[in-house]
Amino acid sequence: MVKKARLIYNPVSGHEQMPQKVADILNILEQAGYEASAFRTTPAPKSAQNEAARCTAEGFDLVVAAGGDGTVNKVVNGIAPAERRPKMAVIPGGTTNDFARALKIPRDDLVAAAKVILQGKTRKMDIGLAADTYFMNIAASGSLADLTYGVPSEVKSALGYTAYLIKGAEMLPQISSHQMRLTYDKGVYEGPVSMFLLGMTNSIGGFEQIMPDAQLSDGLFQLIVVKTDNSVDMLRLMVQALNGKHTKDPEIIYTKTTTLKAELLTDEPALPVNLDGENGGELPMTFKNLQQRIEFYVG
């Protein structure tokens, strides 16, 4: 039987170059042995997710997500719930492209990224489930959670680590802790939390030192809990995190876990949860790691 592939692409990603490369990408998919077609996403809610779900239900063998981390997330959410799931490939066209970075896929050439498929190398990747929403890279909550996504890409390109320190310094007056109960494999923590991060890969906000021991297929989240909201402590932790030296700090909990249940212990206003850079609901929430849920082409 002929294998079928569907390219789901965001027309405004990649500096709006994606539509010009569709024919080249489809040609590469044909070279890889797929009967290929394309779907251009629209501004309608869940456009990419609904198309990915339709392709999954119709038995497609491969779905290619072309766009930023948000587009990849939507395609993952269309595929992950099914019992029989197609393979996935990623063509990065966003600003950060954390997931493509973790998969060792070229991030500055759309056609080169598509050619990864011709190499035929795949890996089954863990996928996270937060309540009823899936994520492939990060879940976070707390007053610091926006730091990794709050730095404009052009500033980050020019200033690197310094951009995060500047952004962190700007945020210091607004950082506060929340009384939480965090239940994970190795125990329960009750106390102040200014942020928790659940990482699936080693790339967060374009940096690879924040989750230094990430494994892509071991069924384990990396959990980082920042307890303090003290300005001096926060500046120290930011510097350490950008160099991968934060995990042993006394103000940090760093562990691995298959699940996390996060609850607020006070009647505070609802605290949002960030999933792959997008709003993913509010606490309380339970997170589960679905080991090797989707098979991806990797570099």
Catalytic sites, residue numbers: 278
Distance CA 146, CA 141 (A): 8
Distance CA 41, CA 144 (A): 32
Give SS3 for 41: coil
Distance CA 291, CA 216 (A): 9
Name every residue whose Cβ is closer than 8 Å to that of residue 79 and which is 6 or more positions away in sequence.
52, 53, 56, 63, 85, 86, 88, 294
Rg (CA), the chain: 19
CB-CB neighbours of 47 under 10 Å: 17
Give SS3 for 7: strand
CA 84 to chain centre: 22
Return left, alpha or beta for 146; rule: phi > 0 is left, psi -120 to 50 is alpha, else beta.
alpha
- Sole residue written with tokens 């950008």: 242
